[in-house]
Amino acid sequence: MNVATKTGPGKGRWRQFGGVAALAVALAGAWQVSRASETVYNIAPPKVDEQTSGKALEKAVIAGGCFWGVQAVFQHVNGVKNAVSGYAGGDEKTAQYRTISSGQTGHAEAVEISYDPSVVTYGQLLQIFFSVAHDPTQLNRQGPDTGTQYRSTIFPANAEQAKVATAYIEQLNQSGVYPKKIATTTEPLKGFYKAEDYHQDYLVNNPYQPYIVINDKPKVENLAKTFPQAFRKDPVLVAAQGR
């Protein structure tokens, strides 16, 4: 049994472990599980970035596997005012977890980041995204999660974001840092649809769930180590903003 794999149509439904002892065994075996979420790519910042002069709060929508971990990472980034788990890439009528889990809706599990560009730029958010938030070389999967709903995708909100994202992907592919070509795509942002409430602030609310311990906590730890100037200890929470 792969302890890092979610089961059933409702994410977070785990095969039952036999108490604390079994959980300890499961966590001890974490080293044998795919560790894609723990990969750190030390990459240069983008050569092309957004113009921030005079800009108010901006939004960025990205997808990089299970949104629990991606949301958790950006909740710890200075300048981020909110990070909401949701769905992007499909129609509003299919933007429910049980529906998108089929992999047939066109949706990806995504995170909408509201940020202050005078503190953190769009390009800097993408640097974190490509470095510690996920493995951009994996096609239609992240670690134990497979399917197009777990694809690596950037959903630019405007032409400037599209220019930054496209240029950065090209820059990173030419850098030689990654073992394979980047699988990340860019797609037009048709809309962003907030996920069910139980998906919000998931790492904070479920810090000891095995999936979180194995796959997502390492991402936040890597953020703190790799981008110490950008790291904020206390995460900004969706629940605190009444959204």
The 10s digit of each residue's pLDDT in 36-93 is 446 899 999 999 999 987 778 999 999 999 999 999 999 999 999 999 999 999 999 9
With a cut of 60, say whether residue 18 has pLDDT above it.
no
Q: Taking a C-beta distance cutoff of 8 angstroms, is the pair 42, 78 a contact?
A: no
With a cut of 90, say whether residue 231 has pLDDT above it.
yes
With a cut of 60, say whether residue 32 has pLDDT above it.
no
With a cut of 70, say whether residue 126 has pLDDT above it.
yes
With tokens 């560009």, the residue in question is 117
Average pLDDT for residues 13-34, to the nearest whole number?
40
| Count of domains forming the chain | 1
pLDDT, residue 242, reads: 65
Residue 2 resides in a domain: no
Residue 122 resides in a domain: yes
Q: For residue 100, what is the domain's CATH number?
A: 3.30.1060.10
Question: Residue 152: which of 218, 221, 59, 66 has the closest Cα?
Answer: 66
Structural domain span for residue 30: 19-241
242 catalytic residue (yes or no): no
Residue 5 resides in a domain: no
For the chain, the average pLDDT equals 88
* Cα–Cα distance, 131 to 158 (Å, whole number): 23
The catalytic residue among 43, 62, 66, 100 is 66
Residue 7 resides in a domain: no
Residue 130 resides in a domain: yes
Residue 9 resides in a domain: no
pLDDT, residue 241, reads: 86
Residue 12 resides in a domain: no
Q: How many CB atoms lie within 10 A of CB 68?
A: 26
Residue 162 resides in a domain: yes
pLDDT, residue 39, reads: 84
pLDDT, residue 85, reads: 98
With a cut of 90, say whether residue 20 has pLDDT above it.
no
